[in-house]
Structure 1
Amino acid sequence: MKKNPTKQKVVDAASILFFQNGFHGTSVRDIADKATVNVSLISYYFKSKQGLLEHAVTQYYEAYLKAIETAMLNNESISPLERLKKMIEAIIHYKQSNHQFSCFIHRELSLDSVFVREMTVTYLAKENYFISNSFYAIFPKQKKNNLDSQFLLMQLKGMLITPYILQNEWKNQVVGTDSHNQFAKNYIRTIENWLDYVVTQNN
């Protein structure tokens, strides 16, 4: 479906402001000014600031999960380890190409809120299913789902979100498209090296 450019401009403006000021620190007027649209247009499209947030999050996660599914479907014929690496590559590239909103979402997910609970029972459950199944597939049958592999899965999940929770660690190094791409490339390689070590130690 073709996106409405004006509607998308509002979503993009909101994403920037939510990242900079937080959801509660951003007003509808701020978003309208940033997007250079009338406040009434935001009400027309989204009903409220909460409606705008829900739309933006839905759009983000649907595209994110689609990227994961596509990576899995396009790599069905390769080994479980290489397939997992392809999925991780898709995850990091997606999050990095949507860096500000990725940081905002992960910041919000660190809080106990209605927003978090709603995300948990919908998109995060599906994300967890994809990551967990793909990760456990790299282990021998007797080592799947034991305590050590559960701890390792927790470490992997931590690596996938750390750059977007600790974004201030990288704010002076990742400032343009090229540096975002380079960061993604280097970070993916680091995770892949960790995975190679994990496989070596558990096979």
Structure 2
Amino acid sequence: MEAACRLFYAKGYHGTSVRDIAHSASVNVSLINYYFNSKQGLLESIVTNYYEQYMTVLEETMTTTEALPKIDRLKQMIATIIHYKQEQHQFTCFIHRELSLDSIFVREMMVTYLAKENYLINSVFKEALRDSGNTKLDLQFLYVQLKGLLNSPYSSANEWKTLVNWNQSQDFFAKKYVHLICHWIDHLSEGTGMDKKSNPSILSR
């Protein structure tokens, strides 16, 4: 599965053969067919595994941050998302590339996982900004902007390449980018009476 992730990212799904994956993983082609039936089966297993883990960490964050101020809960959610995506940077980029295509598999992913992701992030985001009491904020418009910030390094990987693939660690980029998004959140809440002093532990993870 790790070999397939690397090859799908580098060569694309259609540019990667089962033989390529078997050679990279140092296994027999028949072993892949035995466990996954086909390259499509392998892809589906990888994507399902990726999103199952992703939804687990999002739900855990929702549970462990219930007692936090709503603005800090939102920032912790942002940190969780960026760190998860950055830890699996290559495959995250591949998935975002695949999601731009219209296919039955993509539609299934949208119904199963992406709709749930949207619900969780949207609810935390809107709760935090509604709590500000600022009725002038267009929350739906701003939510679309937030999703763009969360996805941009992975859906537009070429534009971000020189920034993401630094000599520093992936964790360094994640912390820096989380800090940037949290400052955007603080900007939205300026003048609303919300506490804009971010907890340092939130920005670090």
Q: TM-score, length-normalised on structure 2?
A: 0.87
1:38 is aligned to: 28
Displacement of 1:176 after TM fit?
Answer: 7.1
Pairwise mapping of residues 56-135 of structure 1 onto structure 2 (< 5 A)? Answer: 56-135=46-125
Partner residue of 1:4? Answer: none
Q: Which runs of 5+ in 1 are unaligned?
A: 1-10
Q: Shift of the alpha carbon at 1:60?
A: 0.2
- Matched to 1:169, the amino acid is E
Native 8 Å contact 1:139 1:202 kept in 2: no
The answer as to 2:182 corresponding to 1:182 is no
1:50 maps to: 40
User: SS at 2:13's partner residue?
Assistant: coil
Paired residues of 2:70 and 2:128 also in contact (CA < 8 A): yes
- Contact 1:72-1:86 within 8 A present in 2 as well: no
Contact kept in structure 1, 2:3 and 2:24, CA below 8 Å: yes
The runs of 5 or more residues in structure 2 that have no matched partner are 194-205
**1:201 shift after superposition:** 5.8
User: Distance in 2 between the 1:164 and 1:41 partners?
Assistant: 31
> Which secondary structure state, in structure 1, belongs to the residue aligned with residue 67 of structure 2?
coil
Structure 1 stretch displaced more, 69-78 or 169-178: 169-178
Counterpart in the other structure of 1:29: 19
1:171 to 158, 161, 167: 161
- Equivalent pairs counted in the alignment come to 192
Is contact 1:32–1:39 with CA below 8 Å preserved after alignment?
Answer: yes
CA pair 117-67 structure 1, distance change in 2 beyond 3 A: same
Contact residue 83 and residue 174 of structure 2 kept, 8 A: yes
**Structure-1-length-normalised TM-score:** 0.88
2:197 is aligned to none
Percent of pairs identical after alignment? 55
Secondary structure, in 3 states, of the residue corresponding to 1:112?
A: coil
Deviations along 1:34-75, one digit per CA (max 9) or x if unpaired, are 101000000011001110011000000010111111112111
